[in-house]
Structure 1
Amino acid sequence: MAGEWLTATANTNMFTYEVAPVFTLMEDIILSRMRAKVGWTGGDGILVPGGALANLYSVLAARYHKVPDVKFQGMKYLPQLVMFTSEQGHFSIKRSAAIMGIGTDNVIQIRCDGRGKMLVSDLESEVEAALARGCLPFYVNATCGTTVLGAYDPVHEIADVCQKHGLWLHVDGAWGGSVLMSNKHRHLLDGIERANSMTWNPHKLMGVPLQCSAILLKDKGILQACNSMQANYLFQQDKNYDMGYDTGDKAIQCGRHNDIFKLWLMWRSKGDRGFEDHVNKVFEHAEYLRRKIKGREGFEFVVEKGELTNVCFWYVPPSMRTLQPGVERDQQINTVAPKIKARMMESGATLVGYQPLGNLPNFFRMVISNPGVTEADLDFFVEEIERLGRDL
């Protein structure tokens, strides 16, 4: 919070080194440290307001890397570009395609298994099918920490496909990337060092105040080459310092809020160990909730052994517990979570999201990211669902 207040007090733009020298160096240091956690030496990156914008940067960089002339000549003379992401990936990948003129129809959604993880065999088939159609595949998005189930796509296997076909591999770790801070859980991102770029949102699992997201790249120079306009009224090329510190020329934005100070100050305060304890604690809370629900009458898991801190489950009221599995049962259970959620809002005691997924009826999605949550809070949460839904 102190970082938030001081950031607002300074009210400093981040587009050139001379305007914000200390904050520019803070950003350089922190992004270097984040890339080191990924397993990269060198590389590049920039802080952005959110994961959707970070994902857009990744598509821009990947397209420029594949067809650099697109910056000057546009898309007119190119074959149809094609991108790939899982059917449970974030919507911002498709929106990036829409923004960039690639088109949402050219974002191929890859099927997932029952745990929400991308099926690499389907990815391989879709890449080959796109090539057979005369298209130009250039980008694969692997989601590490899907929004609903918290699943991690298999990065190593996806990287093999990308290496075979010369595709840019982006890892959307907006939600799940912060497991890199935990020695206990970083195995979920095995293979991340093989990616070309990564989205990482410290304002999610690490608890940094909004907005604080990063787009990280394995190689230096692509962001600058892709986005730079070298406007000489702002980014003079004969300044008396390294022009690489004028980050505004590699950003989509020009003016940019000084969000880095919040992350820098928090990292200085907590250290690697503090963030590791933070991440481990929320995983422990999620596991406690799973144990609480497992075997409890009326509660059924969507995925019992979730990978992240997303705990997804149905509550089945007593009146529906004798129904046989099938369409009628699903239709009735589909109405339960919305009704309980409405009662939660009216009572004001607790609040949790719900959603369907594919053909599955509505279920609750409890996501734990606050280490201040206690076991007593989670006990109350479960009991409150029972109280509000018992008569349905």
Structure 2
Amino acid sequence: MLVQKYGGSSLASTERLDAVAARIAETHRGGASTVVVVSARGGATDELLAQAAAAGGSGLGTEHLRETDQLLATGECASAALLALTLLRLGVPAVSLTGAQAGIAVVGKPGSGIVDRIDTTRINGHLEQGSVTVVTGFQGRNDRGDTVTLGRGGSDTSAVAVAAALKARRCEIYTDVDGVYSADPTHVPDARKLPFVHASMMAEMAFAGAKVLHPRAVELAALHGVELHVRTSLGTQEGTVVGQGEEEGGEMTSLETGGAVVAVTSDPDVARVLVHARGRSDLAAEVLSILARHAVPMDLVARSGPHEEEFRMGFTIRRSHVSEVGPALDKAVAVHGGEVRVDSDVAKVSLIGMGLLNRPEYVARMTAALAAAGIATSWVSSSQLRASVTVPADRRVQALCLLHKEFDLSGAGTEQTVAL
């Protein structure tokens, strides 16, 4: 049993579609029962979003969101049908299924659904008949029978969920990069490809800004023991294995994560939120409830103590979530005579490694290196796997490059020295 996922760039042209079909045909003829999950072709989702906005889909009402999801789902449907047709032309039996046809049940609101369960009866039926089953990513059906999309990057989550439901041991993620790197190679030319990354570390990387995998997909893979193979669809080179390190890559885990910093990430989609109210009203529970109700994750959290004369609470959220939760926060805090201030001119840079909480010298070294370059840092957070600071948005790339060099992540000496 093998599950493969192809991103939009892998299907963006007829030539790339043919190349993907040829790769799948080779796998199928090798005897593997193959399920393929696809994204919309490159640029299709953005085009559909623009069309939705022009038609009035920019409203925030439930009915607007529902119809927008109905439209966005067609991008993946087109990809799946085109790939199935190409496979049929190559003499490979194939069938395309929408998320609903594939039995993917989703809960949550339109645009940010969560996979709840998958009835694999129909997928298994096609596999037993020897057909490659091409499933649309990014979507499923709710209990009302409506199509609900999973949000940006949701096709990764779809692929891992299908792999978990079919009890597949691995899921291959094909994209336009050939693996997971020590930093974004578009900004850091000497970034090093990592042959193996532990799943828990990859989850931190994804949350902290690494775009190669969606955070929820990594978490789901770790939960169900699905090993991820990240590689390019444009070549045959080896990529990166993301897993628990119990079999292949187990020895590599100690080499890559033995107390050292493994990667540096940056995230431009960040806003700092400061909640302030006079008096001893404790608004923390109310603030957290608002964020939870809107499914908005927070990071770098601090708050005032119970005996102080005023309430203060600071945290970071995604800048793209401010318009969603901002009005609710303003309304809740105004009742107590307080205010909410949002600073969107920031970014987050993070060190990813193992044992960072027990090694405070890493955070000290990170902040010292940034200060020496005149890059102001503000809020700091540290855990065993990640240390993050906020920096001015226009210094993000500079900070990323500086820290990659500071911690010697380009490869020189990394494989020869293991910090114990």
When normalised by structure 1's length, the TM-score is: 0.31
Task: Determine which structure has greater relative contact order: mean sequence separation of CA pairs < 8 Å that are 6+ residues apart, divided by chain length.
Answer: 1
Higher helix share: 1
When normalised by structure 2's length, the TM-score is: 0.30
